[in-house]
Amino acid sequence: MFKKILIANRGEIACRVIKTARKMGILTVAVYSEADKDALHVDLADEAVCIGPAASKESYLVADKIIAACKQTGAEAVHPGYGFLSENSEFSRRLEEEGVKFIGPKHYSSSKMGDKIESKKLALEARVNTIPGYNEAISGPDEAVKIAQGIGYPVMIKASAGGGGKGLRVAFNDKEAHEGFSSCVNEAKNAFGDDRVFIEKYVLEPRHIEIQLIGDSFGNYVYLNERDCSIQRRHQKVIEEAPSPFVDPAMRKAMGEQAVALARAVNYESAGTVEFVVGADKSFYFLEMNTRLQVEHPVTELITGVDLVELMIRVAYGEKLPITQADVQLNGWSMECRINAEDPFRGFLPSTGRLVKFQPPMETTDANGTTRVDTGVYDGGEISMFYDSMIAKLIVHAKDRNAAIERMRDALNGFVIRGISSNIPFQAALMQHKRFQSGNFNTGFIAEEYPTGFDASMVPHDDPALLVSVAAYVYRSFTDRSASITGQLHGHERLVSDRWMVVRLDAAGNQHHPVTARLVAGGYDIEYHGKHYELRSNWKLGESLFVGTCNGLEFTLQVERHKTKYSLFHWGTRADFMVMSARAAELLALMPEKQAPDLSKFLMSPMPGLLREVAVKVGQEVKAGEKLAVIEAMKMENILKADQDCKVKKISAAAGESLMVDQIIIEFE
């Protein structure tokens, strides 16, 4: 077996590979950019080599620097993870020439299958179901519009070297086709160094279902069941699960055999994923092949009991697959939530900065299932604007789909992130959505269910009494500790009342909830609206996680104190409270609210990022919906448009400038 391998990646996937390598007794080498010098993968690896500045194109995308690091450290093989150079056939070919093994497919296989245009032609030859489209590279936006008209809207515009939702747009008309082509070209060039774009028919109400497979150098192949990745936002996967609630055994077999036929056609070695778009009638069409390890591979590992990274390493070393198709299990149900650094309440804009607190749920395996966290960050670490937005992957496994959803809800409740925004509230809302729970969804689910975006009102809490009771509990804990301070004047000790007013602060106005909170052994008894709530917990002041029971039923929520206010986080809901006497609550109601300033005459940067383009000039009349500026952050282009008719008075930032959040770009008259 290899004695030392280099991981040509960063973040959670680098850490994931290091864990398996360590289990196999293999030494690891990390590479890192200047921005990642304090990253977790650097700390976990046995050795680490700096390969350049923060920008990917000057570090993680430079093959020469990776190869030099191999020579410097004596690494015998390279695991590329996903993204960056993982599907770059020229990189794997050069490694082969240097005598370094590539832990992935041979360059001739990835060259054919990693190129979406070429792979579609091969799929046709291998008798794999394919979707109608134009499979040649397109010269410009005008040609893209003509091709789209010929195929018929809606169409999908895709970068040939794209992946992870980058370099992909859906167009429903000529204008969207024109703009979408330009954005795809720019994103693909920046992310992958390949600006070729093609177009294919967009299947309405589609599901995104993919087959995981692996092959060795002896011609052996197995497919490891399917994953359903239909819950997507802007074509980026949000939740993945295995198996799919839509796939039956006959369909699984047919899709798996077509995936293997495609892999066999190019002598594919290593792990790979064949993605299909699936119609409501269970017809399926080849979408693309990812010639690398997928982000969502853990859900397959948990239902099959297979370590995919280990198999990749063994196959690359020249070993035979240790399993046959008959050995592949389908045990229980697994689900993965991608925890991203983005603000779901501000249009999912990227959120960067310091992780003031990062406390993921404990990784456990018990009689009811497994909770797993794959991450590349740590408490106090930094989320950079230079790379993608993923903070962690939260994965659960249980006996069936309902149990997996329940376990995921509990895990999300216990995932503490402070300092930056995350999409945990959105993930929690999805877990509670009746349509998601039913399994009746497609890739349009999020757009259909949240057409105007996402806000706090879309995360209803079905037990508000629990939140009120816990607010009373944490405040009583604080006041009881204050009352127990030593040195109080005899006869004048502080007396703490049992009667309080819990004031919930929200956009609808302050809501007053009278409660009685009595101290008992192990917690407090709360009386609220004539009902009794026995809260028992070992929670201590200052702890972020409140784990306890309410009337004997276990629950977990998060607590955060802001001077006189408390924030509770549960099931994706954030509830802000103040607890005080009834008289203080009366006086609070008389206090005037501070009005927010009018910022409608400014276009401000909604995120930290690079200002790629300012599309208007001083004095220009702008109509609602017109493009104003383009900001690049976390490898994605974000187009800012006018939300009303206006006239440009002043431009305060220039293209190429690095922007801070809320920095003024344009002022209007």
Which pLDDT tens digit goes with each residue over 155-209?
A: 989 888 776 667 889 999 999 999 999 999 888 888 788 888 889 888 878 999 9
The dihedrals phi and psi of 477, each to the nearest 5 degrees, come to -60, -40
Instruction: State the greatest distance between any 2 C-alpha atoms of the chain, in Å, as a whole number.
Output: 93
Which pLDDT tens digit goes with each residue over 208-220?
A: 999 999 999 999 9
Least Cα distance to 379 among 356, 363, 411 occurs for: 356
Q: How confident is the model at residue 595 (pLDDT cuts 50, 70, 90)?
A: confident
Paired sense of beta strands 221-233 and 133-134, if any: unpaired
Contact 405, 394 (CB under 8 A): no
Architecture of domain 338-450: 2-Layer Sandwich (3.30)
CA distances from 341 to 350, 392, 449, 455, 483 (A): 6, 9, 22, 17, 41
What amino acid occupies position 216? D
The dihedrals phi and psi of 139, each to the nearest 5 degrees, come to -75, -30
What amino acid occupies position 172? F
Q: How confident is the model at residue 634 (pLDDT cuts 50, 70, 90)?
A: confident
Q: How many CB atoms lie within 10 A of CB 518?
A: 11
Contact 626, 642 (CB under 8 A): yes
Q: Which residues in 238-270 are b (16+ Cβ under 10 Å) and which e?
A: bbbbbbbbbbeeebbeebbebbbebbebbebbb
**What is the residue-wise DSSP string for 414-466?**
T-EEESS--SHHHHHHHHH-HHHHHT---TTHHHHH-TT---GGGS--S-HHH
Least Cα distance to 334 among 374, 378, 356, 304 occurs for: 304
Least Cα distance to 214 among 129, 80, 117, 325 occurs for: 325
Which pLDDT tens digit goes with each residue over 398-424?
A: 999 999 999 999 999 999 999 999 999
Question: Cβ neighbours of residue 460 under 8 Å, at least 6 residues apart?
Answer: 573
The dihedrals phi and psi of 115, each to the nearest 5 degrees, come to -90, 115
Q: How many CB atoms lie within 10 A of CB 451?
A: 7
Which pLDDT tens digit goes with each residue over 269-280?
A: 999 999 999 988
Q: How confident is the model at residue 621 (pLDDT cuts 50, 70, 90)?
A: very high
CATH of region 209-331: 3.30.470.20
Q: How confident is the model at residue 600 (pLDDT cuts 50, 70, 90)?
A: confident
Contact 228, 244 (CB under 8 A): yes
Give the model's pLDDT for residue 195: 84
List, as own/partner pairs, every contact residues 629-634 make where C-beta atoms lie below 8 angstroms and the sequence separation is at least 24, other chains included.
629/603, 629/665, 629/666, 631/605, 631/606, 631/607, 631/659, 632/190, 633/350, 633/352, 633/385, 633/607, 633/608, 633/609, 634/341, 634/350, 634/352, 634/385, 634/386, 634/387, 634/388, 634/389, 634/609
Which pLDDT tens digit goes with each residue over 217-230?
A: 999 999 999 999 99
Give the model's pLDDT for residue 163: 67
Give the model's pLDDT for residue 45: 98
What is the distance between the alpha carbons of residues 633 and 17, in angstroms, rounded to a whole number?
Answer: 26
The dihedrals phi and psi of 46, each to the nearest 5 degrees, come to -75, -30
- 508 burial (CB, 10 Å; 0-12 / 13-18 / 19+) is exposed
- What rounded mean pLDDT belongs to the chain? 93
Which pLDDT tens digit goes with each residue over 287-318?
A: 899 999 999 999 999 999 999 999 999 999 99
Question: Cβ neighbours of residue 268 under 8 Å, at least 6 residues apart?
Answer: 105, 109, 113, 213, 215, 221, 262, 291
Q: How confident is the model at residue 485 (pLDDT cuts 50, 70, 90)?
A: confident
* CA Rg value for the chain: 27
CATH of region 132-201: 3.30.1490.20
Q: How confident is the model at residue 94 (pLDDT cuts 50, 70, 90)?
A: very high
Q: How confident is the model at residue 508 (pLDDT cuts 50, 70, 90)?
A: low
Structure tokens belonging to residue 589: 């109601």
Q: At residue 492, does pLDDT exceed 80?
A: no
Q: Is it true that the peptide bond before 132 is cis, omega within 30 degrees of 0?
A: no
Q: At residue 104, does pLDDT exceed 80?
A: yes
| ∠ Cα 455 457 460 (to 5°) | 125
So which residues are the catalytic ones? 288
Contact 640, 630 (CB under 8 A): yes
Sign of CA dihedral 222, 228, 234, 239: negative
Range from 303-317, 442-456, 557-571 that averages highest in pLDDT: 303-317
What is the distance between the alpha carbons of residues 504 and 511, in angstroms, rounded to a whole number?
Answer: 5
Least Cα distance to 160 among 132, 216, 199, 126 occurs for: 199
What is the distance between the alpha carbons of residues 357 and 124, in angstroms, rounded to a whole number?
Answer: 51
Give the model's pLDDT for residue 349: 84
Structure tokens belonging to residue 190: 């920046």
602-668 CATH pick, 3.40.309.10, 3.40.630.30, 3.20.20.20, 2.40.50.100: 2.40.50.100
Least confident of 245-249, 431-435, 630-634: 630-634
| ∠ Cα 500 505 511 (to 5°) | 60
Give the model's pLDDT for residue 188: 85
**What is the residue-wise DSSP string for 252-311?**
HHHHHHHHHHHHHHTT--EEEEEEEEE-TTS-EEEEEEE-S--TTHHHHHHHH---HHHH
**First and final CA of the chain: distance in angstroms?**
69
3-state secondary structure 173-224: CHHHHHHHHHHHHHHHHHHHCCCCEEEEECCCCCEEEEEEEEECCCCCEEEE
The dihedrals phi and psi of 378, each to the nearest 5 degrees, come to -150, 165
Contact 22, 79 (CB under 8 A): no
| ∠ Cα 375 68 4 (to 5°) | 55
Give the three-state DSSP class for 330: coil
Architecture of domain 4-103: 3-Layer(aba) Sandwich (3.40)
Fold of the 464-484+495-588 domain: Glycoprotein, Type 4 Pilin (3.30.700)
Chain centroid to CA 60: how far? 21
Q: At residue 462, does pLDDT exceed 90?
A: no
Higher-pLDDT residue of 33, 599: 33
Domains in the chain: boundaries: 4-103, 132-201, 209-331, 338-450, 464-484+495-588, 602-668
Average pLDDT on 233-247 reads 95
338-450: same fold as 209-331? yes
What amino acid occupies position 235? H
Paired sense of beta strands 77-79 and 101-102, if any: parallel
Paired sense of beta strands 499-505 and 155-163, if any: unpaired
pLDDT over 90 percentage in the chain: 75
Q: How confident is the model at residue 631 (pLDDT cuts 50, 70, 90)?
A: very high
Give the model's pLDDT for residue 164: 64
Question: Cβ neighbours of residue 413 under 8 Å, at least 6 residues apart?
Answer: 428, 555, 556, 557, 558, 569, 570, 571
CA distances from 215 to 325, 464, 549 (A): 11, 52, 49
Give the model's pLDDT for residue 434: 95
